[in-house]
Amino acid sequence: MIETKNLTKKYGNLTAVDDLNLTVKDGDIFGFIGPNGAGKTTTMRILVTLLEPTRGQASVNGLDVRRHGKKVRRLVGYMPDFMGVYDDLKVFEYLEFFAAAFGIERRKRKSIVEGVLELTDLQSKQSAAVDSLSRGMQQRLGLARVLIHDPKVLILDEPASGLDPRARIEIRELLRELKRMGKTIMISSHILSELEEICDHVGIIEHGHMVFSGTLEEILPRLGIQSKVRVKVADSQDKAVELLTALPQISQVRISGDYIAVTLHEGQNGDGIIARTLVNADLDIISIQPEKLKLDDAFLQLTKGIVH
């Protein structure tokens, strides 16, 4: 749905985006991660036709952003990191204004605005002044605005920035609902723990370069990280340790409190062999739980804190 090839953007001697290649699949939520100044916002602005690339290609749904800018803008809903508000408008008026700007027929505007207000849970605020809304409500209003023309693709720059925990959870659930509706979503964020819960794929960018793109599971081989599993048995913990230590797929076994910490050799997935080994020895298994790699850890290992 979104693709760039050797995308480059220069401002004089400064290269903000440098030969960037990325792909976002139809219907996916793609997390775009990087330090401040890495090139995330510049990339997003090129994709929504607000900036011209210096060289390279960028396309949305197969449409080149330079040659088919008008069609791309119809397909895309863009939410910048800070939304411009109209202080003298009420929420309903604000959305009706943008419905008119998108060329939606007058007779259809009211029902469309009511629909996005319901989707973003803003019905109770439709008569409130825009500038009276909390930061969280304003972010939801920003999402309502970009949904007015029913875009296939949402490009959201730091939508959870500055939100309290409850508002972040609400935004996260709204993004899940939009995915269920078939939207393709590209989202940048510094709240990495939020992204790992909702994203199908992530892209990590630094100094204009893509240093990784894929799923969290695909990051493991790239980092040379060994898979780890927590095993808990009802009794005979020492016997379980002895059995697991003998398995060729396992590099380390140690007791950690009431569970056994198992480290597998790189590239191995040992859930099945661990379970079979313990069951065949008539040991009662309480749980076998893989330790999930955290996005924060991957980010710190793959980036060096380089900024422009």
- Residue 251 gets the label, from left (phi > 0), alpha (psi -120 to 50) or beta, of alpha
- CATH code: domain 2-220 is 3.40.50.300
Q: What distance in Å separates the CA atoms of residue 138 and residue 135, rounded to the nearest whole number?
A: 5
Q: Residue 247: what residue type?
A: L
**Domain boundaries, given as residue ranges, for the chain:** 2-220, 226-292
Coil, helix or strand for 92? helix
Tally of helices (H runs) and strands (E runs) in the chain: 11, 14
Strand ordering across the sheet containing 209-214:
76-79, 153-157, 184-188, 29-33, 201-206, 209-214
Q: What is the pLDDT tens value at each position of the chain, 308 positions in all?
A: 999 999 999 999 999 999 999 999 999 999 998 888 889 999 999 999 999 999 999 999 999 999 999 999 999 999 987 766 677 899 999 999 999 999 999 999 999 999 999 999 999 999 999 888 888 888 889 999 999 999 999 999 988 877 777 888 888 889 999 999 999 999 997 666 667 778 899 888 888 988 888 887 777 566 655 578 889 999 889 999 999 999 988 888 999 889 999 888 766 666 688 899 999 999 999 998 877 666 666 666 666 654 44
Residue 281 DSSP symbol: T
E strands, the chain, in order: 2-11, 14-24, 29-33, 55-60, 63-64, 76-79, 153-157, 184-188, 201-206, 209-214, 228-233, 250-256, 259-264, 285-290
Tokens standing for 191? Answer: 């709240």
Task: Return the number of other C-beta atoms located less than 10 Å from residue 107's C-beta.
Answer: 7
Give yes or no on whether 2-220 and 226-292 have one common fold: no
Asked if residues 304 and 203 have their Cβ atoms less than 8 Å apart, the reply is: no
Convert 139-167 into a string of H (helix), E (strand) and C (coil).
HHHHHHHHHCCCCCEEEEECCCCCCCHHH
Q: Residue 300: name the closest of 229, 206, 215, 207 by CA.
A: 206
* Burial degree of 232 (CB within 10 A; 0-12, 13-18, 19+): middle
Architecture of domain 226-292: 2-Layer Sandwich (3.30)
pLDDT score of 306: 45
So what's the pLDDT on residue 299?
65
From the list 193, 255, 266, the residue with the least C-alpha distance to 223 is 266
Cα–Cα dist 270/290, whole Å: 9
What are the b/e assignments for 155-187, b being 16+ CB within 10 Å? Answer: bbbbbbeebeeebbebbbebbeebbeeebbbbb
